[in-house]
Amino acid sequence: MVGQGIVAYRDSEELHVGDRMDDLLRAVGDSRICIPVLSRGYASNPWCLRELTRVTELNELTGKPAILPIFFDVTPSNVRLRTELYAEDLEKHERRHGNEIRQRWKAALRKVGEIKRWEVQGKP
């Protein structure tokens, strides 16, 4: 990918303790494609939710980046919040970050859950 001019950001490699979240969100704004990998623990991570919200809000305003979600061991219904999978994590976030932020995060999850892309099940 790098040889073709494609820069891929992976939180585990690109974002280290002390790095600024603003830098990552700025990089998201420059992206043409975003491939969030939504997993069972995704909603427990405020950084993931902030990034996803930035992606969906930019997509609504500008039509980019294109969002190509991968649902890993979750279903689109889980991500659309039609099950209880993410409920406890979102409630904890409301206590810490407030209802307005929680509502934005829920809207981002619902939007991405409506995009039918790839569903991947882990090993049995």
Cα–Cα distances in angstroms (integers) from residue 120 to residues 70, 73, 78, 102, in the given order: 7, 6, 14, 27
Clarify whether 84 is annotated catalytic.
no
Nearest to 74 by CA among 44, 12, 118: 118
- Residue 34 has φ and ψ, to the nearest 5°, of -125, 130
Catalytic residue among 13, 51, 60, 94: 51
Known catalytic residues are 51
